[in-house]
Amino acid sequence: MRPKIAVIRGDGIGPEVIDATLSILERIVEADFIEVRAGKRYFMETGLPIEEGGMEKLRESDALLKGPIATPTRGRTYSSVNLRIRREFDLYANIRPFKSYEGISLRRMNLVMVRENVEGLYSGEEELYEDKAITKRVITRRGARRIAEFAFRLAEDEGRSRVTAIHKKNVLKLSDGLFLEEFYRVAAMHPGIEADDYIVDAAAYRLVKVDDPFDVMLLPNLYGDILSDVAAGVVGSLGLCGSAQVGDNYAAFEPIHGTAEDIAGRGVANPIGTILAASMMLEWLGSRYGLADLAQVGRRMREAADRTVRDGILTPDLGGGATTREVAEAVLDRI
């Protein structure tokens, strides 16, 4: 089988890190890459956030590799393409691995965040009254259960020993209460994996304060969004971290960072996070379609990216002088 991979290059540094990653993928896998235009730049040119027929193109593909997309908070704006893709394909699990590098990271860390990706404060349910705005924080039993099951399965598959649920049940008694109730119900079905929980503010402190703070973290949407940037800071740069957004039938892979307008167009963005996201994509495609070779290439790509960083081939966000292209070439050499 020859996978069809949709590609959204995105805004800001998106095209730079995506092109660098494609320059590797095109050399190591047999696949069709199908560009889908979307994002702020496309919107400014055409008035459309995603090209006509774009969602169809995604539906016809096996996976999506994407760069960050800007959602302007001021001026002419549009509803988030990211949220639309997550909802349309029900990409309910956002998986973000964080692994430290000696001499670069602030602390030792090897953890995976499993973030609930379609509910919580990103429910999209908002109401505006004259002097009052309300955003509904929705946590459903089904949503809480399936993301907890996902986290325990991931722990088992990766040989990890503990899953920690992150919450604020002391204040958000009902919504986080339900999240936690389902977590422990699912935990009881996985006796081989330890289960515990942490209040979100204490978890933020622990992330920066101790080595090996967590193993697998299970987080409602907003906590996952915020704590993953904290973890990226500890690892050393937002540019070092990749993510997978997974549903039952489709998945999208992207770096965790945004469009980084401050460095866009200079060829110095760190492509490692996007390369790691692409390696997760190959592993996901490999396991979904029983393509052991593809999964193997994905693992090699991840190891090569890690080695490139350990070998000190670094972009300026990590104090180095390498360009985006040079880092990608170094990864390819190591594959």
Asked if residue 65 binds ligand NAI (CB under 6 A), the reply is: no
C-beta neighbour count of 310 within 10 angstroms? 12
Asked if residue 102 binds ligand NAI (CB under 6 A), the reply is: no
| Window contacting ligand NAI (CB under 6 A); options: 157-165, 183-191, 237-245, 276-284 | 237-245
Asked if residue 323 binds ligand NAI (CB under 6 A), the reply is: no
Helix, strand counts (H, E) of the chain = 11, 12
Cα–Cα distances (Å) from 147 to 11, 110, 243, in that order, read 30, 20, 16
Nearer to ligand NAI, 120 or 239 (CB): 239
Interface map 246-285 toward ligand NAI (x if CB under 6 A): --------x--xxxx-xx-----xx--x------------
Tokens, residue 43: 């919107």
Among positions 293-322, residues that touch ligand NAI (CB under 6 A) are 315, 317
Residue owning tokens 């509910």: 119
Tokens, residue 87: 């909802």
Kindly state the number of chain residues that form the binding site for ligand NAI, as judged by CB under 6 A.
22
Interface map 154-193 toward ligand NAI (x if CB under 6 A): ----------------------------------------
Nearer to ligand NAI, 57 or 86 (CB): 86
| Residues binding ligand NAI (CB under 6 A) | 13, 17, 68-71, 82, 237-239, 254, 257-260, 262-263, 269-270, 273, 315, 317
